[in-house]
Amino acid sequence: MSTKLSVNINKIATIRNSRGGNTPDLLKVAMDCERFGAQGITVHPRPDERHIRYSDVRELKPLLQTEFNIEGNPREQKFMDLVFENKPAQVTLVPDVLGQLTSDHGWDTIANKDYLKEIISEFKKAGIRTSIFVSPDLNMIDGALETGADRIELYTESYAKDFFHDREKAIAPFRVAAKRANEVGLGINAGHDLSLQNLNYFAKNVEGLLEVSIGHALISDALYFGLENTIQLYLRELVIR
């Protein structure tokens, strides 16, 4: 089983929005990512539309040939409407707060179980696979199962932060989390601060990893290596060796 690479194109939208106009062309970049080997495209629209715009999602949907993953907070009705309108392959539920710079915590799937269960049932009726952003905590994984989610997305900031200090310690909770997810039948995605430096070790040690969503590091690397070459480099890191 190979792990799929979904490229998060939020940073492309950030660059475009900083000057107005349509440079870089977000739609072309997304299609190029697919052409260069990416197996999915991820977007994370936020209410202030400071990077991905809701109109971007509508324009991307008919163009993409790979899996489309829309991330966001389901408590925003505008986000919910967008997902149901465009029916991506996957929706990833993230507990962002208004104005948050970037995602920095996973769901408390126990405290929010009833809410998430209700929301996820609606996505399932629409035929949309659902993933929940969680920290590598066994209680949160068990709670995710109770919500009816198809997958979890492991929040990997702690792994990336500690990787160069003690990689064994950094990966340990993710190994345990993956074991539990596999035991209970939850699919496993991962994302946040994964990079060329830490990706292979993560993929090698997290059993059953189905998909990684990577944006900031990948787009930053593309400034040096070029987008096509960078995507190939990331795909290479997902080959277990």
Domains of the chain: 4-237 (3.20.20.70)
- The pLDDT of residue 100 is 47
pLDDT (0 to 100) of residue 240: 82
CA separation for the pair 68, 6 (Å, rounded): 8
Tens of pLDDT, residue by residue, the chain (241 residues) = 689 999 999 999 999 999 999 999 999 999 999 999 999 999 999 989 999 999 999 999 999 999 999 999 999 899 999 999 999 999 999 996 655 445 457 899 999 999 999 999 999 999 999 999 999 999 999 999 999 999 999 999 999 999 999 999 999 999 999 999 999 999 999 999 999 999 999 999 999 999 999 999 999 999 999 999 999 999 999 998 7
| Residues, the chain | 241
Contact by Cβ (8 Å): 114, 81:
no
Report the DSSP pairing between strands 90-93 and 40-43: unpaired
Half-sphere exposure of 140 (CA within 13 A, CB side): 21
* Phi, then psi, of 96 in degrees rounded to 5: -70, 155
β-strands 90-93, 67-72: how paired? parallel
Q: Looking at 44, 51, 67, 237, which residue is catalytic? A: 44
The phi and psi torsions of 167 (rounded to 5 degrees) equal -65, -30
Among 51, 67, 153, 192, the active-site one is 192
Instruction: Determine which one of 34, 67, 71, 237 is catalytic.
Output: 71
Judge whether 192 counts as a catalytic residue. Answer: yes
165 is catalytic: no
Question: Which residues have a Cβ under 8 Å from the Cβ of 62 and sit 6 or more positions away?
Answer: none
Q: pTM for the full model? A: 0.94
Question: CA dist 146 to 16, 113, 151, 185, Å?
Answer: 40, 7, 12, 12
* Sign of torsion over alpha carbons 104, 109, 115, 117: positive
Spatial separation of the C-alpha atoms in residues 88 and 126, rounded to whole Å: 10
What are phi and psi for residue 140, nearest 5 degrees? Answer: -70, -30
